[in-house]
Amino acid sequence: MILVAGLFVVLWLNLRRPVREMVASINAGRELPTTGIEELDGIGAAVNLAMERVRTSEEHVRLLLNSTAEGSTESIPTASARSPTRPA
C-alpha cells in the first residue's frame, strides 16, 4: 500500500506541471513546449504538427473565400455592360 502511495506521489509531482503547461498552451493556441519527458514530448510534437496543419488549412480557406468574394462581384456584369437583346 505504501509503495502504491509513493508511486502516486512521484507521478503526481513529476507529471502535474508538464501536463498543466501543455493544456495551458493548447488553450492559448500556442505551440507546446518540450517537457523533457520523452512520451509527453512525442505527444506535444504531434499536437504541434496538427495545429500547424489546421492553421495552414484555415489560411487556404480564408484565401479562397476572399478570392471568391472578390471575383463574384467582378463577374456580375452591370446593366451598361450587358449586350443588347434582339427585338422579338
CB contact set of 27 (below 8 Å; sequence gap of 6+): none
Query: How many CB atoms sit inside 10 A of residue 44's CB?
Result: 21
Please tell me whether residue 30 adopts helix, strand or coil conformation.
Answer: coil
Biggest CA pair distance of the chain = 99
Task: Write the pLDDT tens digit of every residue in 9-59.
Answer: 888 888 899 999 999 999 999 999 999 999 999 999 999 999 999 999 999
pLDDT at 84: 53
Phi, psi of 28 (to 5 degrees): -90, -5
> Given this model, what pLDDT does residue 20 score?
93
Give pLDDT, residue 73.
Answer: 52
The 8-class DSSP code of residue 81 comes to: G
With cell 446593366, the residue in question is 79
